[in-house]
Amino acid sequence: MRYAHIDNGVIVWERDYRVSPDPATLARKAIVPVVEERPAFDPAAEVLDGPATVIEPTRVVRRYVVRAKTRAELVGDVRQARKTAYLGQLGEDAGDFQNTVGDVFDAVIKKIRAMDAAAPVAEPEFDAMAAAIDAIKAGNPRPA
């Protein structure tokens, strides 16, 4: 358990104790337990911010608050999911690709489809790759 020594409303130090110290010693030396309050949240749509430290008479509380993810965070999640799915399909090492690999594939596929529409050519390998990319995009749509 974690404890904090409080002096004049300020945390002087914090320590972890394997065995809880004697309550009388704690009270005499102004040592109080440190607790965390983490509310339940949906990691797909929300994040925990904090903690804010609140010194109460009998404990120190680390309070987290839940907030909705920003659009940028949601887009980042989609990009990461797409990247992971693309890498799984292509068998590459995750460290070798930029986070924008999905956007690059989208541009390449669009260009090739436009060229194919102008002069159709049977390319089964391209069609299979394009179908895999479409499936990944459908499973990880961009937020509105």
Predicted pLDDT of residue 124: 79
Q: What is the pLDDT of residues 94-131, one digit of tens each?
A: 555 555 566 677 777 777 778 777 777 767 777 787 78
Determine the Cα–Cα distance for residues 54 and 117; give it in Å rounded to an integer: 64
User: Strands across the sheet with 46-55, in order?
Assistant: 10-16, 2-7, 31-37, 60-68, 46-55
* Structure confidence at residue 63 (pLDDT): 95
At 114, list the tokens: 């436009």
Alpha carbon distance 14, 138 (integer Å): 49
For 47-98, what is each residue's pLDDT tens digit?
Answer: 999 999 999 988 999 999 999 999 889 988 988 888 777 776 665 555 555 5
pLDDT at 112: 76
How does DSSP classify residue 74? H
pLDDT in tens, 22-43: 777 777 788 889 999 999 999 9
pLDDT reported for residue 92: 55
- State the pTM of this model: 0.54
Kindly report the number of other CB atoms within 10 A of residue 10's CB atom.
9
Instruction: Say whether 133 sits in a helix, a strand or coil.
Output: helix
Q: H-type helices in 30-100, by residue range?
A: 71-90
